[in-house]
Amino acid sequence: MGAEPGQERGSAVVEFVFLGTLLLVPVVYFVIAVGQVQGGSFAVVSAADHAAKVFAAAEEPATAHGLAEQAAIVSVQDFGFDPADLTLSIACGSGACLEPGSTVTVEVALDVPLPLLSGMGMSFARVNSSATQIVEQYG
């Protein structure tokens, strides 16, 4: 059963393809997942920043909440995430909302879904960000 000198027998190509695929698929999925989390972190930073700016620039507190929520939803959608996974909270600093010189803080959280399985409702990570904006003194 021994191989004679000069004759090589084996299945190195098959083993390489099988092991390469077995190891490469999880690594590629991990890289995609890390990219998804990074995209989610960019989305929440953008959403918090835009929502705080829109809220501080609004004329009335009643419409400011709706405008800030819409700004956050648009920012999250721009990055390809579902607005249903978004959590938004707005807090006004000392004094009433939109009082000149007061601050507005917006906190945004996003549940990042598993890559390629976004329809199953499983969250891979939760990223959050906050932004504070000062209402203009002489606006």
**What does DSSP assign to residue 118?**
G
Q: What is the pLDDT of residues 102-124, one digit of tens each?
A: 889 999 999 988 887 766 667 77
pLDDT value for 23? 87
Which of residues 14 and 132 earns the better pLDDT score?
A: 132
pLDDT value for 21? 85
CA 4 to chain centre: 60
Q: What is the pTM of this model?
A: 0.79
Rounded Cα–Cα distance for residues 62 and 94 (Å): 18
How large is the average pLDDT for residues 125-137?
A: 90
Residue 6 has pLDDT above 70, yes or no: no
Q: What is the pLDDT of residues 21-75, one digit of tens each?
A: 888 888 998 999 999 999 999 999 999 999 999 999 888 888 999 999 999 999 9
pLDDT value for 18? 85
How large is the average pLDDT for residues 94-109?
A: 86
pLDDT value for 128? 94
pLDDT value for 7? 63
pLDDT value for 9? 67
Helix (H), strand (E) at residue 124: strand 123-134
Rounded Cα–Cα distance for residues 120 and 134 (Å): 40
